[in-house]
Amino acid sequence: MTDPEALQVVRRHFDSLFPKTCASCGRRFASLREYIVSTTRVGPAKSYDAELGDWKTTEPIGSLALANCPCGSTLALSTEGLALPLRQALLSWVKIETQRRGVSSSELLEQMRDEIRKQVLSDQAT
């Protein structure tokens, strides 16, 4: 898997999670773009499987990127629901790229998060 392919898989999956509603205040985020603009990041993104070194898992725990709703409640975007072969391919990509770049999995996922944010915000508002 290449960097552009990994970005495309994750972005497409995150796009599919919308609309998303905050369980605390009921605010509805119609799109990933609205979510990015309206929320505030909370800590770095994390791959629990990468943290455990479980690179070939058949039962992935997954990855999370947390953000706060304007009401203060924490929301998550996760890899839950992403097909197992794609999750495994992404984990393989994470393993290769963290070793190649000399960064942690969270640092790599934050770079991906930044790039997805940049792409989404540069797209025309719909």
What integer pLDDT is reported at residue 119 of this predicted model? Answer: 95
Per-residue pLDDT tens over the stretch 84-109: 999 999 999 999 999 999 999 999 99
27 neighbors 70 (Cβ within 8 angstroms): yes
| Distance, CA of 62 to CA of 50 (rounded, Å) | 9
| Distance, CA of 15 to CA of 117 (rounded, Å) | 12
The pair of structure tokens assigned to 57 is 């898992």
The answer, yes or no, to whether residue 76 has pLDDT greater than 90, is: yes
What integer pLDDT is reported at residue 96 of this predicted model? Answer: 96
CB atoms within 10 A of CB 99: 9
What residue ranges do the domains of the chain occupy? Answer: 3-120
